[in-house]
């Protein structure tokens, strides 16, 4: 049961990555119109930030559930007194690896969204130079 939820969090994270790349590409294509202003390009930074947060949220949930799975597997104080069917991840939220900030700056999340941000800023710089 826990593994199914972990798989769903991984699928959600993949879907967020797919949507973020697609939406940023569409916004940049829209901003590349003949009479578009350079400021339209910066609009693409909004979904980058939103999707970065969503991806980190799903990664954090996946990490918490993996920790819960490990606790249930090893019968760690009978999964912290909740029993084997308890799905609460609350006891593991304070661990440094499971914090949202750790998920925001994990290599897989950080690399994609910083790259998208750099692409958007580079497109803005090129548009400003071209006038």
Neighbours of 129 (CB within 10 A): 8
Rg (the chain; Cα; Å): 19
Residue 87 is classified by DSSP as -
- Average pLDDT on 41-51 reads 94
Neighbours of 41 (CB within 10 A): 24
Return the percentage of the chain with pLDDT > 70, whole number: 89
Q: What residue ranges do the domains of the chain occupy?
A: 2-130
- What pLDDT, in 10s, does the model give residues 67-111? 888 888 787 665 556 666 677 788 889 999 999 999 999 999 999
Q: Specify the pLDDT at position 81.
A: 64
Q: What is the mean pLDDT of the chain?
A: 88
**Calpha distance 82→4 (Å, rounded):** 19
What distance, in Å, lies between the first and last C-alpha atoms of the chain?
56
**Calpha distance 10→82 (Å, rounded):** 25
Q: Specify the pLDDT at position 82.
A: 64
Whole-model pTM above 0.75?
Answer: yes
The residue count for the chain:
131
């Amino acid at each position: 049961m826990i593994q199914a939820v972990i798989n769903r969090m991984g699928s959600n994270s993949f879907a967020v990555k797919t949507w973020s790349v697609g939406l940023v590409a569409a916004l940049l294509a829209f901003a590349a119109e003949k009479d578009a202003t350079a400021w339209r390009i910066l609009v693409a930074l909004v979904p980058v930030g939103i999707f970065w947060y969503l991806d980190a949220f799903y990664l954090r949930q996946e990490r918490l559930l993996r920790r819960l799975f490990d606790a249930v597997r090893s019968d760690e104080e009978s999964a912290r007194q909740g029993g084997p069917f308890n799905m609460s991840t609350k006891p593991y939220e304070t661990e440094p690896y499971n914090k949202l900030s750790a998920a925001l700056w994990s290599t897989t999340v950080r690399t994609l969204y910083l790259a998208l941000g750099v692409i958007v800023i580079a497109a803005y710089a090129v548009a400003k130079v071209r006038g």
